[in-house]
A = this chain, B = another copy of it.
Amino acid sequence: MNFGSDNLSGASEQVMQFLQDANTELQTPYAGDDWTKQAEQRIQEIFGTDAKVFFVITGTAANCLALASICNPWDSILCHGQAHIINDELTAPEFFTGGARLIGLERATAKLSYQALQEYLANNTPHPPHNAMPGALSLSQLTESGQVYQPEELRALTALAKEHGLAVHMDGARFANAVASLGCHPADITWKAGVDVLCLGATKNGALMAEAVVFFNHELSERFVQLRKRSGHLLSKGRWFGAQFCGWLHDDHWLTLAHHANEQASKLATGISQSDAASLIWPVAGNEMFVRITRQKAQMLADNGAVFNEWFTDILPEDQKLKPDETVLRLVTSFKTQPEDIERFIELLDA
């Protein structure tokens, strides 16, 4: 019953097999090998456009290299107040961008609202060079609350961003779960919706460790090669990224894995919403859910082997108030989550 994080799992067997296959022959170092080229092509095919594709080892590196590619050191970067880049990456965005500033626009909401972005941009009348000017909008798909932006929501947000001259970055650590949830074409929620650069995460969903930075806007990728090299993120054995992505993308494997994780989450959510012992803070769209529960019940679950994280209570929407004995849990499913674990968890919850 491990719902701690989707980064607790290893790699899928298919990914491991491709890795094994890639290991036999000698290959051109850095990003010059056949596996890397194949993986780039696969991504271009999947998105239906000739994006510039680069691979790195962590989500933090992917996000921060992307932001450094699209921002000046004197810009600000607008994002949701719960975004991974502002909460969980130390001051990596500042380090990579040379000192750009993150502005968290909302916190106790599940997605960045059009209104919040609009208000910030309307009220913010900078007097250059005294005030930091917004240079980029960063959106997470899934959001940190496990929600999905619909294509039309994205189009509205990015249109507003572009009116103000902002580049648009998407943190897609759980992008596969979003595509699986929406049943849309990957293009619909990226370049067709105004996204300039996507960080496509494979790590949480079946790869060992591999993230792709996908520039739909070619111009913005011009500095990437230098930025990656000088941050120590250019692998000499580039094949290793290529092979993982080839395995991950082969035969829609990435979506198969994401569908599994989403389905398990859906079952878990159904169980929780039917239980008197806990309640969902937001409806579940992907493979994450946030739950209000008594501390006592949470303890009992943990004592019986359930693994999860207690979460920040200030993410609660204003219309929901924690009772004094309640806490907030985050539960995450993955491609490895077993139906039995879901059942057992619900049984315990209702016990």
Q: Which residues of A contact B (CB under 8 A)?
A: 2, 5, 7-11, 16, 19-20, 22-29, 56-62, 64-65, 72-76, 87-92, 94-96, 98-102, 123, 125, 128-132, 203-204, 208-209, 223, 225-226, 228-237, 239-240, 312-314, 336
Assess the A230–B131 pair: CB atoms within 8 A. no
- Bound-state Cα–Cα, A8 to B25, Å: 9
- Bound-state Cα–Cα, A24 to B209, Å: 15
Q: Closest B-chain residue to A123, C-beta based? A: B314
Given known contacts A91-B74, A99-B99, A60 and B8 CB-to-CB distance under 8 angstroms: no
25 A–B pairs (Cβ distance < 8 Å), ordered by A: A7-B236, A8-B29, A10-B22, A10-B239, A19-B19, A57-B235, A58-B234, A60-B234, A73-B98, A74-B91, A76-B91, A89-B230, A91-B230, A92-B232, A94-B94, A94-B101, A94-B230, A95-B99, A95-B230, A98-B98, A101-B102, A123-B312, A203-B237, A208-B240, A209-B240
11 more A-B residue pairs beyond the given contacts A5-B29, A10-B23, A129-B234, with a C-beta to C-beta distance below 8 A: A7-B237, A8-B28, A10-B27, A59-B236, A60-B234, A74-B90, A89-B232, A91-B100, A98-B99, A209-B235, A232-B233
Q: Closest B-chain residue to A229, C-beta based? A: B129
Q: Which residues of B contact A209 (CB under 8 A)?
A: 235-237, 240
Copies in the complex: 4
- Bound-state Cα–Cα, A63 to B27, Å: 24
Q: Which residues of B contact A88 (CB under 8 A)?
A: 130-131
Assess the B130–A232 pair: CB atoms within 8 A. no
Q: Which residues of B contact A73 (CB under 8 A)?
A: 91, 94-95, 98, 230
Q: Closest B-chain residue to A27, C-beta based? A: B8
- Bound-state Cα–Cα, A240 to B244, Å: 14
Q: Which residues of B contact A10 (CB under 8 A)?
A: 22-27, 237, 239
Contact of A99 among B87, B94, B125 (CB under 8 A): B94
Assess the B229–A92 pair: CB atoms within 8 A. yes
Q: Which residues of B contact A230 (CB under 8 A)?
A: 73-74, 89-92, 94-95, 99, 129
- Bound-state Cα–Cα, A8 to B73, Å: 29
Assess the A231–B229 pair: CB atoms within 8 A. no
Q: Closest B-chain residue to A84, C-beta based? A: B130
- Bound-state Cα–Cα, A130 to B56, Å: 17
Q: Closest B-chain residue to A128, C-beta based? A: B225
Q: Which residues of B contact A25 (CB under 8 A)?
A: 10
